[in-house]
Amino acid sequence: MRKNSHRVPAIECVNLTKKFGDLTAVDHISFEVKEGEIFGLLGPNGAGKTTTIRMLTTVLPPTEGTAIIAGHDVVKESDRVREKIGVILQLPALDWFLSVYDNFDIYGRIQGVPKKERKERIDYLIKEFGLEEKEKTKIELLSGGLERRVQVARAFIPEHEVLFLDEPTLGLDPQSRLKVWDLVREHSKDGETIVITTHNMDEADALCDRIGIIDQGKIIALDSPKALKDRLGGGDIIKIDVEGDSKYIEQEISKLDRVRNLGGLALQVENADQILPDLTQFIGSKGGKIKNISVRKPTLEDVFIKLTGREIR
Amino acid sequence: MMKGLRSLYYREMRIWSRTYWMIVLSLSTPILYILLFGLAMTGLIQGIDYQGKEIDYLLFLLPGMIAMGIHGCGMNACWTLFMDRQMGTLEQILSSPVTRSAYGFGKILSVVTQSFIQVFLILVVGLPLVGKEISIANLPLLLFSAFLGGVCFCSFYMILASIIKTNDLLSTISTLIMMPMMFCSSMFYPLDMIPSTLRYLAYANPMTYIANTLRAGLIGSLSKQVSIELLVLCAFSIALFSASVLSLRRIRI
Ligand SMILES: Nc1ncnc2c1ncn2[C@@H]1O[C@H](COP(=O)(O)OP(=O)(O)OP(=O)(O)O)[C@@H](O)[C@H]1O
Ligand SMILES: [Mg+2]
């Protein structure tokens, strides 16, 4: 049984589905997230990540299926659900003509954070995200990354039971990105459940306890990052770029038995050092001109490519 | 049901006061009408019969222009709602503990506040122009009418903005609506001066009742006819307000 099976699930989705006319944006997905867990939704553009979050945050009614957040149904008890959640949207969602401080303050008010606590948290977060000098600046005068900082930072003013982050680190510099990771870990330690969507494989790998890989509205794999990578069976990945059309070379390489092509000449091998000389010679003999070779350990990206046959971006 | 109303009202007013140039701008249209249109028309129209008295055209026009100012405040709600949806702030609010009704109420209260400020400012500029003082006894009627006007217009434009999602369609339609709203009403002229077809349209237009009750509050008195008009305006406000609550309940981000 699961390690944390004594805990109640913070999120429980069963056959959650959303159709927009003919398009099925989210297709019968089911998953559970445990209390205090950091859960990642990973998938390419248009996979249905934002639509899933919109249903879980009660702003979009599901076409089919149910979702329970912290013990409450997102349709029947949406008021109760909204009291327990927070969300960072993919859209800016800031008040353009108001100052940075006002945006923090109004967010805190709307979330119902009492005055004294609100002020303390805002001062703390503004300092943490290096926004002191911009406190009085209107949002419209900020750079895109600073805007995102404001939007992300203010989500940490209140305490939630479940916090949804839709690509929170998109557009952030490395330092702010790490800050977000720290905060996410901190809040998860305090028992907050975090759902995070991202295209960034490293982020998902570093941060998430478990990851659901979502493609064309379906969850095609769900496990811990390590278990997902182990599915590839270890070894090394050799990525080769050749000049011109690689189709023919790919065809030829698929005939070798010590090499497994994950797609797009990302080759999985048992030991890169041993096979590399033979491999370059083989490609040369088939008329391929190598532009670039890189060797690395398997990543979630390889898992994704293997599952879908496509690169994530 | 109204959870978060205070915060949302605070937000609306904060945004409005931060764009102070909008206050000046929204004031300038009614004042310009009085200065340009009003003065030009006084040459054509000698005097106007109102509640049995003959009054100056400028004085007749002034309450109409207050109605126009209130309309402008209501129209702000159209654009703030549109922007809230466009920027994602609406989705942010809808996923927070506040209720959808509180969001609508916050907008209406802020429009009513803006309307009161607008009434005050137009009076400050307009009364010296027409050489008239306002009697304190009529003030409650004036403010009550301004309140109902704010509720009417704000509700109406919230319904519009919650149905229409695209920028160009919304601006085309709201410009289109503005013409009949202004000219098929008693804003610029007494209704017995206009052709009967237009007059009937004017009776279906809340602007008529807003202008008439404001006029009674400013220069007339609460006659039997004005009381009926006030009741009709109440009915308009309640109907539009209920419809706006319904449309906010259904609004999709
Ligand atoms: N309101 C809507 N009406 C119609 N189609 C929609 C709507 N919202 C989303 N879609 C479609 O549903 C699919 C899933 O969209 P969604 O925004 O959930 O993707 P995503 O995984 O968040 O992508 P991204 O990584 O680009 O943010 C897309 O094909 C999108 O075009
Ligand atoms: Mg998205």
Output the pLDDT for position A238: 87
Output the pLDDT for position A273: 84
| Euclidean distance between CA atoms B73 and A236, whole angstroms | 66
**Are A149 and A172 a contacting pair, CB within 8 Å?**
yes
- In the reported structure, the alpha carbon of residue B147 is separated from the centroid of ligand 1 by a whole-number distance in angstroms of 42
pLDDT digits (tens, 9 = 90+) for A106-158: 999 999 999 999 999 999 999 999 999 999 999 999 999 999 999 999 999 99
Q: Does the beta carbon of B93 lie under 8 angstroms from any beta carbon of chain A? A: yes
Closest by CA to B74, choosing from B10, B194, B160, B132, is: B160
Output the pLDDT for position A177: 92
Residue B1 has pLDDT above 80, yes or no: no
Q: Does the beta carbon of B159 lie under 8 angstroms from any beta carbon of chain A? A: no
Provide the percentage of residues in chain B whose pLDDT is more than 90. Answer: 56
Output the pLDDT for position A313: 53
Which residue reads 């790490």 in tokens? A178
- On the CB side of B43, how many CA atoms lie within 13 Å of its CA? 5
Structure tokens at A203: 């982020």
Å between B109 CA and nearest CA of chain A: 17
Q: Does the beta carbon of B244 lie under 8 angstroms from any beta carbon of chain A? A: no
pLDDT digits (tens, 9 = 90+) for B162-201: 999 898 999 999 999 999 999 999 999 988 888 888 889 9
Categorise residue A28: left if φ over 0, alpha if ψ from -120 to 50, beta otherwise: left
Distances from the Cα of B56 to the Cα of A304, B59, B62, B126, B187, angstroms: 79, 5, 10, 13, 15
Residue B127 has pLDDT above 90, yes or no: no
Distances from the Cα of B46 to the Cα of A200, B54, B65, B132, B193, angstroms: 75, 9, 19, 18, 14
Output the pLDDT for position A289: 85
Å between A235 CA and nearest CA of chain B: 45
| Euclidean distance between CA atoms A298 and A269, whole angstroms | 10
Nearest CA in chain B to A115: B7
**What is the pLDDT confidence band of residue A1, given thresholds at 50, 70 and 90?**
very low
Å between A254 CA and nearest CA of chain B: 48
Output the pLDDT for position B52: 81
* Binary contact (A92, B11; C-beta < 8 A): no
**What is the pLDDT confidence band of residue A4, given thresholds at 50, 70 and 90?**
very low
Output the pLDDT for position B71: 93
Distances from the Cα of A26 to the Cα of A55, A155, B20, B218, angstroms: 10, 26, 44, 59
Q: What is the DSSP letter of A168?
A: T
Average pLDDT along chain A: 90
**What is the pLDDT confidence band of residue A6, given thresholds at 50, 70 and 90?**
very low
Spell out the residues 6+ positions from residue A123 whose beta carbon is closer than 8 angstroms to its own: none
* Binary contact (B94, A59; C-beta < 8 A): yes
Four-point Cα dihedral B59, B65, B69, B71, nearest 10: 130
Worst-scoring range by mean pLDDT, A74-88, A164-178, A258-272, B192-206?
A258-272
Worst-scoring range by mean pLDDT, A292-296, B69-73, B85-89?
A292-296
pLDDT digits (tens, 9 = 90+) for B81-98: 999 999 999 999 999 999
Question: B-chain residues within 8 Å CB-CB of A82?
Answer: 95-97
Residue B128 has pLDDT above 50, yes or no: yes
Output the pLDDT for position A2: 37
Which residue's CA lies nearest to atom 31 of ligand 1? A46
Which sequence spans correspond to the domains of chain B?
5-250
**How much is the average pLDDT of A269-298?**
85
User: Is the pLDDT higher at A76 or at B43?
Assistant: A76
Three-class DSSP category at A94: coil
**How much is the average pLDDT of B100-123?**
93
**How much is the average pLDDT of A39-50?**
93
Output the pLDDT for position A235: 79
Q: To the nearest 5 percent, what fractions of chain A are helix, strand and coil?
A: 35, 25, 35
Provide the percentage of residues in chain B whose pLDDT is more than 70. Answer: 100
| Euclidean distance between CA atoms A222 and B124, whole angstroms | 68
Distances from the Cα of B113 to the Cα of A209, B87, B107, B192, B214, angstroms: 50, 25, 10, 33, 16
Picking from B6, B7, B95, the nearest residue to A57 by CB comes out as B95
Which residue reads 């006819």 in tokens? B225
**How much is the average pLDDT of B197-206?**
91
Q: What is the DSSP string of B34-90?
A: IIIIIHHHHHH---EEETTEEE-HHHHHHHHHHHHHHHHHHHHHHHHHHHHHHHSHH
Is the pTM of the predicted complex or chain greater than 0.90? Answer: no
Output the pLDDT for position A5: 44
How many CB pairs (< 8 A) connect A and B? 75
Average pLDDT along chain B: 90
**What is the pLDDT confidence band of residue B28, given thresholds at 50, 70 and 90?**
confident
User: Is the pLDDT higher at A27 or at A286?
Assistant: A27
Q: Does the beta carbon of A112 lie under 8 angstroms from any beta carbon of chain B? A: yes
- In the reported structure, the alpha carbon of residue B63 is separated from the centroid of ligand 2 by a whole-number distance in angstroms of 50
Residue A288 has pLDDT above 90, yes or no: no
Question: A-chain residues within 8 Å CB-CB of B88?
Answer: 89-93
Provide the percentage of residues in chain A whose pLDDT is more than 90. Answer: 64
Domains of chain A: 11-229 (3.40.50.300), 234-297 (3.30.70)
Categorise residue A234: left if φ over 0, alpha if ψ from -120 to 50, beta otherwise: left
